[in-house]
Structure 1
Amino acid sequence: MEYLNTIGKRFVAANDRFQVHRALLATLQELYSFSACAILLKGQHGDPFELSIIPRYPLSSSFLQEMIQRIARAANIIDFPHVTPEELAVAAYFDAPDDLALMEPQTTVGSSEIGDFLHLPLAVEDRIIGLLSLFHEREGVFDTQLLQLTRIIADYAAIALENMRLREREQALWREAEFERRRLELIISSMAEALLITNAQGAIVSLNRFAEQLFQQAEIDTRLEPGVPLRQLAARSNVPWLRELAHVVDQALTGQTIKNQELIIGESGETVPLTLSISAAPLSQDSHHPLPGGAVVVLNDITDRKQIEKLKDEFVSVVSHELRTPLTAIKGYTQHLVRRLERRLRQQAREGRDQSELPESYDLRSLYIVQSEAEHLERLVSDLLDLSRVQWGRLDLQYTPFYLADLLAEQVRLAQANTEQHIIQLDLQVQDSKVIADRQRIAQVVGNILDNAIKYSPQGGHVIVRLESAGEEFLISISDEGIGVSPEYLDHIFERFYRVRNAASRQYSGIGLGLYVARAIVEAHGGRIGYASNQSGMGSTFYFSLPRIPNPAEKG
């Protein structure tokens, strides 16, 4: 027992695997005389096996070759991945510690044949991790009476080697984690975006340079108040955007993911204030904790983009105003000519003349086309003007009472005058269509949808404009027999400047503002707008609702 205790201390004192090798060899040297020792270990985590060969004096190449062949045969007998002598020869590592060399060096190379050998599996908790092999040139060297003690020594060595490999693996993982931590810190510190991380209580635990500058702008030093939730910091501050940021963090702490929410940092009186886009996501703990362990927030500066959008909107507004002036004149003179020709045709009809053969009839049809195209151009100009109004929240509505049936009939007539391939029908399902709304704006909505119905049904067909009653609302729907809208585009068709990108729609002109403006107008009236596929599977149906009487809040 005292001897085993001494042996155990040798292995415990080892700091690396080579010291374990020396402790093992020193112990075996006290029991046996051997020419060489070999330690074969299984690889871990995808690593190849390891073979260490420690000769006590120079050995012949044939002796070493036979050693490797015997090690390969023994390894393939025990629970060890299949290995060939050639693979072992390539992977072998030779070590010759001076303290194990013979006191009197050999003057000649040893024998070429192995006289005796001993193989012992290295096992930890009934799991074989390797093989210990001893070789000698003479026969009958290894005493079988010492076999039980040798197994105990091999078990000590196996435990020491396994612990050493676990420690090396742990150190490698720590080094890898430290490298990743430093790399992540470098990435975060070099980010152009502001980034902050909170714990489960909403207190900031990490932030980069840009985020720190934002808090300095709000006169808050997070380093002076560690562990204080952001909502409490915001409650003590009079900075509005800080409260909005704290609200976003609280949302993420409940498991929500927030994307691209705008946050105005600069003064509201500025032409284009400093504007950030916030995205926040919860940081999960583990499967045993359903609530997030914190939140990560990224704030991206989009001021330049907002500046470009404002300049673009201003440019579009100026150009649209310049277009409206000549357009008003074209519409006015066209209407004047239409009325004159209509009076002349009525006069000639009273005289009994056939109007279909009269030049005035042809001129009137041409003027109807000019009038329809002018209306279409006016809607495009109005859409461009309304774009900036919608963007900056200045879409004003002029409420007046009128009859929806009259407005729809007028829009159907104008649209029919501009197409010969389509049959545009008006289906009125109500008797009283009186409504209080912005007549010009509602006409703009109907005209935009009708334009799309005609444009995206190039083969012609029926276009049905239907007016129905739905409680305190009117429901207007426009159905066509055109190419329809694929499901993957439905989430985007009401976005500004969005046009479906496919081979079927590429041939159709447009700026992608009609439905965007239409939605803004309908929602400003307190209604809703949407899309539905036709039951026949062909064409589209766009619909929108309109309250009969607007609410005072909406009206104001």
Structure 2
Amino acid sequence: MTGPEGPASNEAALRDRLSRLSQASLRINESLEFESVLQGVLDSACDLTDAKFGAITMLGDGRQPDGYVVAGLSSDQARALWDFTEGFEVYEYLGRTREPLRFADFQGHMRARGLPEVPLSAPVGPFLLAPIIHVGELVGTIYLSREQGEPEFSSADEEILVMFASQAALVIANARRYREERRSRLDLETLIDTSPVGVIVFDAADGRVVSANREARRIAAEVHPPGGSLEEALKTVTVRRADGAELSLADHQLSHAFSGGESVRAEEISFETPDGRSVSLLVNATPNHSEDGAVETFIVTIQDLAPLEELERLRAEFLGMVSHELRTPLTSIRGSASTLLDGDLAMDPEEAREFHRIILEQTDHMRGLINDLVDLARIKSGTLSVDAEPIEVIALVNEARNAFRGAGGDNTFAIDLPPDLPRIMADRRRIRQVLTNLIRNAAGYSGDSSTIGLSAEQQDSHVAISVADEGRGIPPEMLSQLFSRYSRLGPDRGSSAEGSGLGLAICKGLVEAHGGRIWAESEGEGRGARFTFTVPAVDEPNLAALVAPGRATARSRQRAPDRRRILAVDDDPHALRYIRDSLQKSGYNPVVTVDPGEVDRLLEESQPDLVLLDLMLPGADGIDVMRAIQVKADVQVIFLSAYGQQENIIRALDLGAADYIVKPFSTAELAARIRAALRKRSQFELPAHPEPFRLGNLSINYGERRLTVAGRTVELTAREYAVLFELSVNSGRVMTHEQLLLRVWGSRETGDSSLVRTIVNRLRRKLGDDAKNPSFIITMPGVGYRMARSIDSGVSRTAP
């Protein structure tokens, strides 16, 4: 522009743009809510450039989508854009660039690049893109467009959008940080609130309760009428310390106690009320100081000692019971022996034999009790050994029934054993002991004329054996406590049952030593009870050959089943020595190491059938090691850990572990768990010549390398066929992105799961498989893909 008004007009336009940019920057700083910030950034970007439509996509950890907002589009249009099955290729092109892009015709540019057209119901024409870069990292992208026929975006539009995107990057980063901090805070609050230990935060200045978790409020309710607040409860109680000192928790005394900043460590105190109620607590208290050193708050944790006191009471009751059980036969033995030795008494031989019989019976009773105590100690220490062998269930049932009858039992039996029940791998004496204990238990809590049911059925790789009675039943609240060492069925139920009460605890230990589990069921009092335990079924070595000759797997031909190679990784040399000896005793070929850094080399050299992996390794997370193993080799992993917390077990199994064994464990349990994992693995091993795969109207002839859908031959590239082959021969199993990359591309160097997604998208188009409602290839979000086993087996309906 050459006229005198040109520079002034340009300057005015520049001032207007800078003013709008400043206002936009202020607007996006008004909130820290992540979604609100993204929407504000997009709306401001549209306003700055006069765009009609817009979208923002954000990248999170692992370069996965972390946010998506739109402007100018309806919710249906936005959903269709996000669900666009071929959109991944477009997104790879647009969403990974670090430079701004500007097109006159969006769809025309896509066609020119050989990319699929985006199915937009809106008439999109000019297009403008700006990356969102924070601290050198691409964290998101702003997409803007106008309707067809509208003016193209100018270089000035591009410049101001790039400037705005750089300012928005910091605001978005702050919002994301705020979101993560809030999530962490909520997680911490949830953890504290659900903790079994009470937590109270006091204001040090006035003794006011700042916050308290659920357990603290529950404990306070023990010494205060329902409906009252925690503060009211604390004002009414007197604290009696271990040294006998008393402290009232009235506000002025509490604040005075806090002012000294004294810490308390594991002190037993009691809360007492004027009406005589009390609760014993274990207390810890820690002051929280300000920057100038003044005490601001006091954090107090309180643990209710009632459960521990109850456990101590049960232990004392247990010791008293054992003492009684030992003294009773000793009294009879001593009395009988004294009578026999009394030279002043004349007795005939029959009377003498009766006294000898009493001595023999009572010594047998004492020996049984002592054996129970020894078994219980071995179970607790993990040193109980079992000598497993293949056994017919019917033989064990008959032996246990005969032993019960031989001891004077009069109950009738209803036996239900299917003829095709497999043999079990068990220690005959120990499992007979379990069955006999359960039968005696059933007889003890039902009448002599009642019927005891004995049944069994196969459950996957185990056989479940049940003992049912028609007796008094079990209250629901007692079911979870039945197998505790110090638990009995209660005085009202146990009066007619003889014995030490150790039977069920020993049964639990014996069953778990075999790699099984035991549980009880009852519909309530007066309705009988059923006790069920599982034992591993025998893995018949010739069964597969008898059923399907010629279908032996490549792995099974390489190595005999009884000499399978097991890799064990544990940083404890003593534990590793025990594992090695247990594996050798069980007929396996162990390969052991204390160094997780040796795993890759040992996987390559030994090619193990299974890996035993310690969860806690020095300098390495067991979960990460497992993931690396599963990418490197197609092998099952069993975790060994001294940590039996449920969340650890669930996490390990969810992330792909075949099993989780809590230390200490017996040789028999370890062997049983390994056999079960190898059996599951064998279900998925490939035969030397796979039979054709059929799923609905889809058929794959592996020998001819031919794919048909509804009778129509479908041509595939070598890469497409390789991916389909891996998915189909492993149908029903989840194949991770890493596994497919390794097996199909033969390398993990790129680590780019987009390669897999692109091939799967092409396969779906050729198979006519709807990504929104798939019949063949099911997406497992964030993990990989799974080929359905039947048309109705798909559970995920999420497109990549």
Q: TM-score range by the shorter chain?
A: 0.3 to 0.5
TM-score, structure 1 as length reference:
0.35
TM normalised by structure 2 equals 0.26
Q: Which fold has the larger relative contact order, with Cα–Cα distance below 8 Å and residues 6 or more apart in sequence?
A: 1
